[in-house]
């Protein structure tokens, strides 16, 4: 809890949390708020922003505001999906690599090095396309590629605590490895992990928007923030401001996540206070 209240006491934290709350709200109820049918074509093509169409209309006469709102869930929640997969694949080997012996450590290190060497976007595109161009396949690929950074961060944090005296002490008292991991190590690495998760979600959003921009993982008429930018691209000469509105949504969300990560990092301080931060930390991860 204290992570959140601490971060929310800074101005940056408040701004970031407000923006994120709005974006999340839009992602949940955005499609219901859309004033027009986001898929319906009309004769009013490439209109500038007006009272009737706040963000104007696109080349098929579709209302851009409606498309941005309807695309919100797909643009935001897919990034969470990828980060979730990355957390699952990265964190567990990251912690256990410190405890399960040299051979296991060596293998996980090499696998993660191998994953890091994969060129991010191209690999995600290849996976998504070859496994049947769908959004979940693309997110599995992105999740796998995010895993090494989670692995490295958790491993570094776990290494810091693996040889602490109180860990040795509890081991001497006969505590099992899992008990030590659960009670001592896990709570110590959580703040680091929360910051990393917020940053990774920002990165995930950028990647998702890039993939949807390229048309990977989405079926054309369906709106996504990246996809809306792509459809405006051929009409830049008529409407040079076309990509601005969906871009602003992407940038605001990514910026707010980075800002929140910084605020949490600045206020959570050293690992020593981590135990108190535990409940608040897990709450951040859900948002």
Partner 1 sequence: MTTLNVRDAAGRVAGPTAAADSASTGPVLTAIARTVVALGRALLIAVPVLLVSTFITFMLGGLTEQDPASLVLGDSATPADVARMREVFGLDKPLLLRYLLWLWSALHGDLGSSWFSKIPVAQSIAERLPVSLSVAVGALLIAVVLGCVFGILAAVRQGGWLDRTVTVVTSVLATVPGFIAAIALITVFSLLVPVLPSGGWVPPSAGLWKWASFLLLPSVSLSLDAAADVARQLRTGMADTLHENYIVGAQVRGLPGWRIVLVHALRNGAGPAVAVLGMHVPRLIGGAVIVETVFALPGIGDLTKTAALGGDVPVVQGALLVTIGVVLISSALVNVLLVKLRPAARREI
User: Using an 8 Å Cβ cutoff, are 272 and 181 in contact?
Assistant: no
Smallest separation, CB 197 to partner 1 (Å)? 17
Smallest separation, CB 99 to partner 1 (Å)? 11
Instruction: Tell me how long the chain is.
Output: 287
Smallest separation, CB 155 to partner 1 (Å)? 9
Whichever of 238 and 282 has its CB closer to partner 1, that residue is 238
Smallest separation, CB 35 to partner 1 (Å)? 25
Whichever of 91 and 211 has its CB closer to partner 1, that residue is 211
Partners of 57 in the β-ladder? 63
Whichever of 221 and 240 has its CB closer to partner 1, that residue is 240
Rounded to whole angstroms, how far apart are CA atoms 275 and 271? 8
Smallest separation, CB 52 to partner 1 (Å)? 25
User: Using an 8 Å Cβ cutoff, are 253 and 24 in contact?
Assistant: no
User: Using an 8 Å Cβ cutoff, are 217 and 211 in contact?
Assistant: yes
CA distances from residue 97 to 30, 100, 176, 193, 220 in whole angstroms, order as listed: 42, 6, 16, 16, 43
Whichever of 35 and 119 has its CB closer to partner 1, that residue is 119
The maximal CA–CA distance of the chain, rounded, in angstroms, is 77
Whichever of 6 and 203 has its CB closer to partner 1, that residue is 203
Contact positions toward partner 1, by CB under 8 A?
Answer: 98, 102, 105-106, 109-111, 113-123, 125-133, 159-160, 163, 202, 206, 209-210, 213-214, 226, 229-230, 233, 236-237, 240, 243, 247, 250-252, 254-255, 258
Rounded to whole angstroms, how far apart are CA atoms 19 and 236? 29
Kindly report the backbone phi and psi dihedral angles of residue 57, in degrees, each rounded to the nearest multiple of 5, phi listed first: -125, 160
User: Using an 8 Å Cβ cutoff, are 239 and 59 in contact?
Assistant: no
Whichever of 68 and 98 has its CB closer to partner 1, that residue is 98
Smallest separation, CB 116 to partner 1 (Å)? 8
């Amino acid at each position: 809890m204290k992570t959140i209240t601490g971060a929310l006491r800074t101005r940056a934290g408040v701004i970031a949390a407000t923006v994120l709350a709005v974006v999340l709200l839009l992602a949940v109820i955005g499609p219901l708020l859309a004033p027009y049918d986001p898929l319906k074509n009309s004769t009013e093509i490439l209109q500038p922003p007006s009272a009737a169409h706040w963000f104007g209309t696109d080349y098929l006469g579709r209302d851009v505001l409606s498309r941005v709102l309807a695309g919100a869930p797909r643009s935001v929640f897919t990034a969470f999906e990828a980060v979730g997969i990355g957390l699952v694949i990265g964190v567990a080997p990251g912690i256990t690599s410190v405890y399960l012996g040299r051979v296991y450590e060596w293998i996980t290190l090499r696998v993660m090095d191998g994953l890091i060497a994969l060129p991010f976007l191209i690999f995600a595109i290849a996976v998504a396309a070859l496994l049947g161009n769908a959004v979940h396949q693309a997110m599995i690929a992105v999740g796998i590629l995010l895993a090494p950074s989670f692995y490295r961060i958790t491993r570094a944090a776990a290494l810091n605590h693996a040889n602490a005296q109180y860990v040795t002490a509890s081991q001497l008292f006969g505590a099992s490895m899992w008990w030590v991991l659960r009670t001592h190590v896990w709570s110590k690495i959580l703040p680091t992990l929360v910051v990393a998760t917020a940053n990774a979600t920002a990165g995930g959003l950028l990647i998702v928007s890039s993939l949807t921009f390229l048309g990977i993982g989405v079926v054309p008429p369906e709106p996504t923030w990246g996809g809306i930018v792509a459809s405006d691209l051929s009409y830049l000469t008529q409407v040079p401001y076309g990509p601005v509105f969906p871009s602003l949504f992407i940038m605001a969300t990514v910026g707010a996540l980075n800002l929140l990560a910084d605020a949490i990092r600045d206020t959570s301080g050293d690992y020593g206070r981590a135990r108190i931060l535990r409940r608040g930390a897990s709450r951040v991860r859900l948002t």
